Amino acid sequence: MAWDFETDPEFQRKLDWAAEFVRTEVEPLDVLYPNPYDRTDKEAMALMRPLKERVKEQGLWACHLGPELGGQGYGQMKLALLNEVLGTSFWAPSVFGCQAPDSGNAEILAHYGTEEQKAKYLEPLLAGEIGSCYVMTEPTGGSDPTTFRTRAVRDGDHWVINGEKWFNSNAQFASFHIVMVVTNPDVSPYQGMSMFIVPADTPGLEIVKNFHVHGFSEHEGHLRFTDVRVPADHLLGEEGQGFIVAQTRLGGGRVHHAMRTVALVRKAFDMMAERAVSRPMRKGPLAGLQMTQERIADSWIEMEQFRLLVLRTAWRIDKEQNYLKVRKDIAAIKVAMPKVMHDIAQRALHLHGAIGVSTDLPFVDMMNYAEVMAIADGPTEVHKITLAKEVLKDYAPGDPVYPSGYRPALREKARELVAERLEHIVGNL
């Protein structure tokens, strides 16, 4: 038996240090400085630099990357437990060197980048000197990347890109973009898309506008590419490998979103429970009312179920070492994540009364974050379809009229089995 629900003591000490460090040193930045991606905010950057050094001293910097890139090479299980700590703070991922989209882009560059690409883009990205942007979604693409229209055409030693992309997080602060485009429209999209590094200052690349997503980001860029010329050596991987390159970041990214959502869910739950025992009513605290107790009980059960599903998924990724074998589990946590986040945040908001809907408390932002998570990295509906298809692969068709649970048939089989056994027992007397 290898079942275990405990963290080894050495790593637990690291988690305890991280939890206290985030609570006392990092979370105060959340309420004073709005954007950890804005490197022009000299005051905020000056405060963050020594915090990063303390994280590095603890050996907790960029733990998703291997030692050759300055990380610890943690598996998904350790990352899940660490991200559960970091998820309480918007600044914490940047302080610990694992902020999206830079973390996923670093993984792409580490896997597919040439030595020249790594020196020019990956090294300063890992050092926190520059930021990056992942550019995939399109105004007309919706949840189906096979409908993308942004094209790149080879012209000598360059590729020329034309098209539009949008809701590209932190594009305004990026020094370079990793962009998925169509390079061969005459084959399947799964073989006809490629991934490029596009420096932010390339002529023809324009930020049309920045969308403000309430409670999540003010910098979701709408990008327009007009005859953007990119050197041929800025291709990531081989031509036509765009989908393969994308999976390097999307599989792990969905899990990391879920890990950090566990932390936000617990934060909402803790605030709800605190409110329940603090708010006086005519006959005792709010916690004494049965409807409050029902909300607390339902929320705790949903929170713990979700957390265990996330941890089991992380464990399976480490065990299988193949995201395709864990598609079902990843889809399941992606589906569960927004509902658990929304429901618990809504209950917490409701128990706080009027102040709960104000901007002085985080519940409206949390509920909107839940809807963002229902859309980002593929909408809930797509992941439900994936989950159902993966589950049904394990089942074979039975009789189309009388299902396997048809009781008359089961009784007949049981009688035959019992009769055979009785005959054998009598024969041996």
Judge whether residue 166 has pLDDT over 70.
yes
Query: Per-residue pLDDT tens for 12-55?
Result: 999 999 999 999 999 999 999 988 988 889 999 999 999 999 99
- Which pLDDT belongs to residue 251? 65
- Which pLDDT belongs to residue 165? 95
CA 214/CA 144 separation, integer angstroms: 25
pLDDT, mean of residues 333-360: 97
CA 397/CA 188 separation, integer angstroms: 31
Query: Per-residue pLDDT tens for 375-406?
Result: 988 899 999 999 999 999 999 999 999 999 99
Which residue blocks in 279-406 are alpha helix, DSSP H?
290-320, 327-351, 363-375, 380-392
- Which pLDDT belongs to residue 65? 87
Output the CA torsion sign for 196, 197, 200, 202: negative
Q: Select from 19, 5, 153 the least CA-distant residue to 82.
A: 19
Choice between 217 and 5, residue whose per-residue pLDDT is larger: 5
Assess contact for 188 and 243: CB atoms under 8 A.
no
- Which pLDDT belongs to residue 129? 87
- Which pLDDT belongs to residue 423? 80
- Which pLDDT belongs to residue 253? 74
Q: Select from 227, 230, 193, 204 the least CA-distant residue to 117.
A: 230
- Which pLDDT belongs to residue 133? 95
Residue 314, SS3?
A: helix
CA 152/CA 121 separation, integer angstroms: 21
- Which pLDDT belongs to residue 141? 74
- Which pLDDT belongs to residue 346? 98
Torsion of CA 83, 87, 89, 91, to 10 degrees: 50
pLDDT, mean of residues 212-219: 76
pLDDT, mean of residues 262-274: 97
pTM of the predicted model, to two decimals?
A: 0.90
| Triad 102, 103, 105: Cα angle to 5° | 60
Strand partners for 224: 164, 206
Judge whether residue 218 has pLDDT over 80.
no
Task: Give the type of residue at 100.
Answer: A
Query: Could you tell me the pLDDT band of residue 230, with boundaries at 50, 70 and 90?
Result: very high
Query: Per-residue pLDDT tens for 99-138?
Result: 888 988 998 999 899 999 999 999 999 888 899 999 999 9
- The single residue listed with the structure tokens 């990119």 is 230
CA 78/CA 59 separation, integer angstroms: 13
> How do the residues of the chain divide into helix, strand and coil, expressed in percent and rounded to 5?
55, 15, 30
Judge whether residue 247 has pLDDT over 90.
no
Query: Could you tell me the pLDDT band of residue 214, with boundaries at 50, 70 and 90?
Result: confident
Which helix (H) or strand (E) element contains residue 177?
strand 176-182
CA 375/CA 356 separation, integer angstroms: 25
pLDDT, mean of residues 215-223: 82
- Which pLDDT belongs to residue 1? 66
Which residue blocks in 58-195 are alpha helix, DSSP H?
76-86, 92-95, 102-112, 115-117, 123-126, 189-192
Assess contact for 26 and 51: CB atoms under 8 A.
yes
Strand partners for 165: 223
